[in-house]
Amino acid sequence: MLDRVHADFIKIPKMIKLVTAQRYNGITKLVMLCYNQVIEGVLSMRKAITTVVVSLFTVLVIVLIVQYSAPKSAQVGHAAPDFLINTINHEHTVSLQDYDDSFIVVNLWASWCDSCKDNFQLLDHLDDQYNDDQLKVLAVNMESLEFNDHGVSEFLQEQHYNMSFLQSNEAFENSYPYLIGVPTTYFIDEDNIIIDAISGELNPNGVEQKMEYYFEFRNE
């Protein structure tokens, strides 16, 4: 009996070592599992960062290509060039960005041009027909076509229109050239894309139908 107890007692340290070894082995496995997960996470993060960097680089390249390949002057189907010009009385400056989210009609005119003046009644009616946040008419006097300031001054004293009258500068005239001559009218949508350009006197029915169709289509 005592011999058996003694034998069992001798086995206890071995059992403790075995249990301890198994315990540490489990901890080791757990540590290795956590380590592998961390490594996988780091690798996944590196892939994600690489993907983001490549995507940003691609976007940058596309922006540069669009910027340098886009026409420098106004063309139908392309973005309208930005501008910074004075009101015709030189009270303040106006830019294309001032009319974001609005449809813009840019009309180029000269004070000696009778066809230009014939367009004003239609354009002024168009400007009154829509709210400013919907449509805005900008009548831009082409400074390079004026012989002197007297013609413009006399016209301003005579005109009784509500639409905005602006004065061109060299940069504007380079960006918005008249086509065959004046009047020339550019139609720019809310996304700042030039959707049409007309040289000469405007057809009232054609312009009104164009605007009605555009806004009807836009609201669908």
Sheet (strand 184-188) strand order: 93-95, 84-87, 164-167, 135-141, 103-109, 184-188, 194-199
Asked if 29 and 100 sit in the same domain, the reply is no
Whether residue 76 lies inside any domain: the answer is: no
Residue 127 lies in a domain: yes
Give yes or no for a contact between 64 and 96, defined as CB atoms under 8 angstroms apart. Answer: no
Domain limits for position 15: 1-69
Coil/strand/helix, residue 47: helix
Token representation of residue 93: 């400056």
- Say whether both 53 and 89 belong to one domain: no
Tell me whether residue 75 is in a domain: no
Q: Is residue 156 part of a domain?
A: yes
Whether residue 126 sits in one domain with residue 36 = no
48 and 117, same domain (yes or no): no
Q: Are residues 60 and 102 in the same domain?
A: no
120 and 62 housed in the same domain: no
How many structural domains compose the chain? 2
In a domain, 74, yes or no: no
Which helix or strand (DSSP H or E) is residue 108 part of?
Answer: strand 103-109
Indicate whether 67 pLDDT > 50.
no
User: For residues 149 and 70, which has the higher predicted lDDT (pLDDT)?
Assistant: 149
In a domain, 122, yes or no: yes
pLDDT at 151: 82
Instruction: Please check whether residue 77 lies inside any domain of the structure.
Output: no
Are residue 94 and residue 148 in the same domain, yes or no?
A: yes
pLDDT at res. 176? 97
Q: Which of 111, 56, 68 minimizes the C-alpha distance to 88?
A: 111
pLDDT, tens digit (0-9, with 9 covering 90-100), for 99-136: 999 999 999 999 999 999 999 999 999 999 998 889 99
CA–CA separation, 27 vs 23, rounded Å? Answer: 6
pLDDT value, residue 148:
83
Using a 10 angstrom Cβ sphere, with 0-12 exposed, 13-18 middle and 19 or more buried, the burial of residue 146 is: middle
pTM of the model: 0.68
108 lies in the same domain as 150:
yes
Q: What is the pLDDT of residues 180-210, one digit of tens each?
A: 999 999 999 999 999 999 999 999 999 999 9
**Per-residue pLDDT for 166 more than 60?**
yes
- The CATH number of the domain holding residue 127 is 3.40.30.10
Please write the tens of the pLDDT for every residue from 22-39. Answer: 555 565 566 566 667 767
Residue 39 lies in a domain: yes
pLDDT of residue 2: 46
110, 114, 157, 165, 207 from 79: Cα distances, Å: 25, 30, 35, 23, 21
Q: What is the pLDDT of residue 124?
A: 97
